[in-house]
Amino acid sequence: MKRLDTATRSNSYDAANQNTTQSNEHRRSSRTILLIDDDDLVAQTLSMMLSTSNYDVRIANNGLDALKIFKNEPIGLVISDLLMPSLSGWDVVERIRQLSQNVPVFIITGYLNELLDKQKERVESLGINEILLKPVRMKDLIDKVAPYVGRKEMRAACNTQPSPPISPFL
């Protein structure tokens, strides 16, 4: 009878470890993109671009909401603005890196030259995978995202021609 208890406990332990492994793998393989931008117009526009290309998108308008989403949902890619109130994009990325070293992270900014000049080491130390400059064209966004996140079949329109930015405020 004790053997059965030991075997049962061992199987329970193995099942728990398998569930954890599956959960972590699900997080890495998720098609869901966490989009963080305090400007609702920018967030909605980028979300529409990504959704049109069959990505699942979760929007957070601030860093605290983004961290809640990241902790509770499987996220395959994070795209964050840099300049936001309360938690900056840098702060959000630092906290995300404490939770996961594996999830790809993009920064989107209108201040690329300033970013590269002053923050190159920070970009490298945080393992930021891509930097996107606003305004971003839909094709450019999709081309950058595609290697990092699995998705359903992309619509033909996105492959055929570059599209202009939807908003001059991106």
Q: Which two tokens stand for residue 160?
A: 């055929």
Q: What is the DSSP string of 119-154?
A: HHHHHHHTT--EEEESS--HHHHHHHHTTTS--SPP
Reference 126, options 80, 86, 65; nearest CA is 80
Q: Which of 52-61, 72-81, 104-113 bottoms out in mean pLDDT, i.e. has the lowest?
A: 104-113
What is the model's pLDDT at position 170?
A: 47
Q: What is the pLDDT of residues 104-137, one digit of tens each?
A: 999 999 877 766 677 888 999 999 999 999 999 9
What is the model's pLDDT at position 65?
A: 97
Q: Is the pLDDT of residue 169 over 70?
A: no
User: Mean pLDDT over all residues of the chain?
Assistant: 79
What is the model's pLDDT at position 112?
A: 72
Q: Is the pLDDT of residue 84 over 80?
A: yes
What is the model's pLDDT at position 18?
A: 43
Q: Tell me the CATH number for domain 31-160.
A: 3.40.50.2300
Reference 81, options 116, 132, 122, 121; nearest CA is 132
Give the list of residues 6+ apart from residue 73 with CB closer than 8 angstroms, or none: 32, 34, 58
Reference 69, options 131, 106, 27; nearest CA is 27
Q: Is the pLDDT of residue 164 over 50?
A: no
Domain boundaries, the chain: 31-160
Most confident of 13-17, 74-78, 85-89: 74-78
- CA angle 12/100/133 to nearest 5° reads 150
Reference 55, options 163, 161, 158; nearest CA is 158
Q: What is the pLDDT of residues 134-153, one digit of tens each?
A: 999 999 999 999 999 975 54
Percentage of residues in the chain with pLDDT exceeding 90?
58
Please report the sign of the dihedral spanned by the C-alpha atoms of residue 119, residue 120, residue 124, residue 125. Answer: negative
pTM exceeding the 0.85 threshold for the entire prediction? no
